[in-house]
Amino acid sequence: MSNPRLIVGGAVIVLLLCYLVIAPLVLAGTYKDKALPAQNKIAEKVTVLGEQYKRPVFTKVDTTAAADKADLEATRKALNETRDQFNQQKGDLTGFVKLPLMGVNGKYAEAITASKDAKEWTTKTEQLLTSADADLAYFEKSTTLNAKFENLGQSLNPVSENDSPEAIAQKLDQFTAELDTALTEAKQIQPTESLKKSHETQVSLVEKFSTQLKQFSAAVRAGNADQAEAISVQLDATATEGQNATNQAIIDYARDSTVNKLIAELSVLDRKLEDGFKRL
């Protein structure tokens, strides 16, 4: 007659073996089967998104309004697709639950490490999506506003050699009023941290140009040719300074933008996560 205590003890040993040996392997394998393809799908979308931020609207000054619009629309589409893919697959990457005692199993321990890396990767991806959206919103607004700056004064009759000083001054005043309206809109745009410095610099230069233009108008109205000529030199210098600031802003964004930095960091984490999944 068998000893019931031995039977019970044997059953417990079998259960422990299932829990400590078989179950960890199954759980680690199941996590890998879900997480690896999920990470690959999201990473593909992130790669496409990163390529969008190399488009001319983000990297060049001499672009057209139509080209900028197309670039921004393509970037918005890529961003939305990346966010949708991320939201669909995120749970497969972060759904691993650490259970007690199973960490003694080598494969399960590797799964725990991989799941921690996956959580870091998803957090970094969320940061990228937030930063990319904020930067894109700024470029969308600023590009629309740039078109207004480029079209300033088109509704005004051009200055003629037959115009009196007062007539010329009135046209300058109307132009300055349009400039100040656009400037007010520019001040209402909230730049991201990586765009803040260049935005504030350019707004400051437009303010400077507006002030000089008002001084120029006053000199023309007063018939003070010498003063008007001196101010016109200042206006040319400010316009050149503004163009240089725009060029520098593009260079700074390509070098310092949070979006580009996060994409580079994700690339490193991609390799780390891929290596971790290979060990499962």
280 inside domain: no
92 inside domain: yes
Give yes or no: residues 12 and 72 share one domain: yes
Does residue 17 have a pLDDT over 70?
Answer: no
274 inside domain: no
Give yes or no: residues 67 and 177 share one domain: no
- DSSP state, residue 102: G
User: Which whole-number Å values give the CA distances from 229 to 42, 213, 232, in the listed order?
Assistant: 60, 12, 5
Give the pLDDT score at 30. Answer: 84
Give the pLDDT score at 278. Answer: 85
Does residue 19 have a pLDDT over 60?
Answer: no
- Tokens at residue 19, please? 């829990």
CA distance linking residue 64 with residue 188, whole number of Å: 24
Give the pLDDT score at 170. Answer: 93
CA distance linking residue 90 with residue 169, whole number of Å: 62
Q: Which domain holds residue 215?
A: 149-256
Give yes or no: residues 59 and 171 share one domain: no
Give yes or no: residues 50 and 120 share one domain: yes
Q: Residue 175's pLDDT band (boundaries 50, 70, 90)? A: very high
User: Which whole-number Å values give the CA distances from 276 to 97, 102, 264, in the listed order?
Assistant: 17, 18, 19
Give yes or no: residues 115 and 154 share one domain: no
The pTM of this model reads: 0.84
271 inside domain: no
- Give the residue among 53, 59, 55 at the shortest CA–CA distance from 82: 53
Give yes or no: residues 131 and 28 share one domain: yes
128 inside domain: yes
- Tokens at residue 88, please? 């669909």
Give the pLDDT score at 103. Answer: 54
Does residue 154 have a pLDDT over 80?
Answer: no
Give yes or no: residues 133 and 158 share one domain: no
Give the pLDDT score at 14. Answer: 47
205 inside domain: yes
Among the ranges given (9-23, 62-76, 108-122), the one the predictor scored with the smallest mean pLDDT = 9-23
- DSSP state, residue 98: -
273 inside domain: no
Q: Domains in the chain: how many in total? A: 2
225 inside domain: yes
CA distance linking residue 250 with residue 147, whole number of Å: 17
